[in-house]
Amino acid sequence: MGSEAILKAIGLDSFDTSLSIYRLIFPGQIKMMKQSLERVGQLQPVIVRQTGEVYQLIDGFKRYYASEQLALGSLLGNVLNVSESVGKAMILAYNKDSSALLDYEEGLIVCSLKNEHGMNQKEIALLTGYSAAWVCRRISLVERLDETVQSQLRLGTISAAHAREIIKLPRGNQGEVTRSIIDHELSSRSGAWLIDKYLSSATKAQKQYLVERPLEAMEKANQDQVVYDSRLCPHGNVLLKTADLLYLQQNIFISQYSNSKTEQLGQSEQMILGPKLQRVWVKAKSIVSIIDQKEHQHEG
């Protein structure tokens, strides 16, 4: 994939950003890059390939979008004489050491090499420097994900970790489970639990209950679970059980209180919830104080 680069200043209106469809770039990342450009300027040139009168961007999308917002006239770029398929493979290469690409983004690139450039898995592996097994896994990740799920992944409403669990589901069920994960703001770990339970549920009613009330289902499952450690005395096992229950309730509360819907509560609703939240705050401080006190006693 080697090619001698020519360094030159490229006007922003001369960039072709068509390869950005293989990258997930969110506003927060562009904001950070914008701050960096304002503070220290462009530290590294972007990587491009010239196609006619324009320069197709291979690496440096965040720098480009941040420069657009800053209304900069140009960016310094390394111009390579490579084909588009090699350019796509270079996206993988330039981000390999930093692990900046999500496996889904890698999958998009690999699928493009397969579908748009007619390459087989062995040829893709040779071009990219990855194993054929790695190529197969990335293709499978993208092809097994329903389009609606991929859309949510591009929007950032679910993570790549969520997606790795969602592909365990039949495509026809992925949409409703994904909506449940988003609506209830489940972490990737909670989402994995939901998916495992969904797959093991025998009836449609059980599946419906899980997607409609996942937090309630998790809480009930934890309460019904037998928690016991033979190394602990009876009191130690009681503490173990209550600590597990408290941890679950904390996760549920944090998930719900952090939900954007909290900001939409009316004044009367806030007045009703206020005293309850104050009690939670007082109890939380008490728990921290008790644990700290016991820890200091043990250290002494």
Per-residue confidence band for 237, with pLDDT thresholds at 50, 70 and 90:
confident
Distances (CA, A) of 27 to 3, 6, 46, 66, 214: 32, 31, 19, 10, 30
What pLDDT is stored for residue 219 in this prediction? 80
Q: For 102, list phi and psi in degrees, rounded to 5.
A: -75, 155
Instruction: Give the largest CA-CA distance in the chain.
Output: 77
Neighbours of 116 (CB within 10 A): 11
The string of pLDDT tens digits covering residues 107-164 is 999 999 999 999 999 999 999 999 999 999 999 999 999 999 999 998 889 988 999 9
Mean per-residue pLDDT for 45-51? 96
> Are 47 and 94 a contacting pair, CB within 8 Å?
yes
What pLDDT is stored for residue 3 in this prediction? 62
**Whole-angstrom distance, CA of residue 133 vs CA of residue 131:** 5
What pLDDT is stored for residue 95 in this prediction? 87
* Selected residue with higher pLDDT from 7 and 251: 7
Sequence-distant (6+) residues with CB within 8 A of 164 are 103, 141
What CATH fold (topology level) applies to the domain 1-84? 3.90.1530
Q: Is the pTM of this model over 0.85?
A: no
b vs e for 228-241, b when ≥16 Cβ sit within 10 Å of the residue's Cβ?
A: eeeeeeeeeeeeeb
Per-residue confidence band for 225, with pLDDT thresholds at 50, 70 and 90:
low
Structural domain boundaries in the chain: 1-84, 149-221, 225-255
What pLDDT is stored for residue 12 in this prediction? 96
**Whole-angstrom distance, CA of residue 194 vs CA of residue 21:** 30
Least confident range of 32-46, 74-88, 154-168, 224-238: 224-238
Mean per-residue pLDDT for 172-193? 93
